[in-house]
A and B are shown apart, each in its own frame.
Chain A
Amino acid sequence: MENNGEFVVRAPDPAPGPERQVVASDLLDRVTAAMDELPEHYLVVVWLRDGEDLSYAEIADVLDLPIGTVRSRLARARSALKKAVGL
Chain B
Amino acid sequence: MDETLRELVSRSLDGDLDDAESACLEESAKTDDELANEIDAARHLRGAVAALSARMEPPASLDKVMETLRQRAPATPRRVRSSFRWLGAAAALVLGVTVAVEVARRNPEPTLTRPPQTRPQPAEDRREVFELSPLPSARPEKNRPLGAADHLLEEEPLVPDASEPPPLEVLGPLPTDEAHAVAIEAPRSPPSKRVSPKGEGAETKVLEPLDSPTEREEFAQSEASAAVASSASPKMNLVRTDEDRPTTAGETSSGKAKRLKNAGRRQVVEVGVVMRIGGADVWTGRTVTCQEGTWWVRIEVRDNTVVMMEPIIGDAEGEDDGGCRPDDLIGSILDGVNDGIHLAEIVVSSDPK
* A21–B332 CB distance below 8 A: yes
Measured as residues with beta carbon below 8 angstroms from the partner, the interface class of chain B is 35 or more
Q: Does B205 reach chain A (CB closer than 8 Å)?
A: yes
Residues of B within 8 A of A72 (CB): 7
* B42–A52 CB distance below 8 A: no
Q: Does B127 reach chain A (CB closer than 8 Å)?
A: no
Residues of A within 8 A of B353 (CB): 14
B7 CB contact (under 8 Å) in A14, A31, A46, A71: A71
Residues of B within 8 A of A81 (CB): 45, 49
Measured in the bound complex, the distance between the Cα atoms of B248 and A25 in whole Å is 13
Chain A nearest CB, measured from B18 CB (Å)? 13
Residues of B within 8 A of A36 (CB): 59
User: What does the 1/0 interface line of B37-68 toward A look like (CB < 8 Å)?
Assistant: 00001101110111111011011011001001
User: Which of B72-80, B162-170, B218-226, B310-318 is the interface stretch?
Assistant: B72-80
User: What does the 1/0 interface line of B90-108 toward A look like (CB < 8 Å)?
Assistant: 0000000000000000000
Measured in the bound complex, the distance between the Cα atoms of B7 and A76 in whole Å is 8
Measured in the bound complex, the distance between the Cα atoms of B190 and A7 in whole Å is 9
Chain A nearest CB, measured from B41 CB (Å)? 4
Residues of B within 8 A of A71 (CB): 7, 10-11, 16
Given the interface pairs A78-B10, A87-B45, the reply to whether A51 lies near B52 with Cβ below 8 Å is: yes
Task: Identify the closest chain A residue to B55 (Cβ).
Answer: A28
* A14–B286 CB distance below 8 A: yes
* A20–B207 CB distance below 8 A: no
A62 CB contact (under 8 Å) in B45, B69, B79: B69
Measured in the bound complex, the distance between the Cα atoms of B289 and A18 in whole Å is 13
A6 CB contact (under 8 Å) in B69, B206, B352: B206
* A47–B209 CB distance below 8 A: no
* B52–A78 CB distance below 8 A: no
Q: Does B141 reach chain A (CB closer than 8 Å)?
A: no
Task: Identify the closest chain A residue to B303 (Cβ).
Answer: A50
* B286–A2 CB distance below 8 A: no
B331 CB contact (under 8 Å) in A10, A14, A27, A61: A27
User: What does the 1/0 interface line of B157-180 toward A look like (CB < 8 Å)?
Assistant: 000000000000000000000000
Measured in the bound complex, the distance between the Cα atoms of B115 and A40 in whole Å is 79
Given the interface pairs A24-B331, A62-B72, the reply to whether A8 lies near B52 with Cβ below 8 Å is: no
- Chain A residues with a Cβ under 8 A of chain B: 2, 5-14, 16-18, 20-21, 23-25, 27-29, 31-32, 35-36, 40, 43-44, 46-54, 56, 58, 61-63, 71-72, 74-76, 78-79, 81-82, 85, 87
Give 5 pairs: A residue, B residue, CB < 8 Å, sorted on A: A7-B208, A11-B203, A54-B69, A75-B3, A87-B41
With A7-B206, A51-B53, A78-B10 already in contact, 18 other A-B pairs whose C-beta atoms are closer than 8 Å: A7-B189, A9-B195, A16-B284, A18-B285, A20-B284, A20-B285, A27-B331, A28-B51, A32-B52, A51-B58, A56-B16, A62-B65, A71-B16, A72-B7, A74-B10, A79-B6, A81-B49, A87-B45
Nearest first, the 10 A-B pairs at minimum CB distance are A51-B53, A12-B272, A17-B285, A7-B207, A75-B10, A75-B7, A12-B284, A50-B49, A87-B41, A17-B284
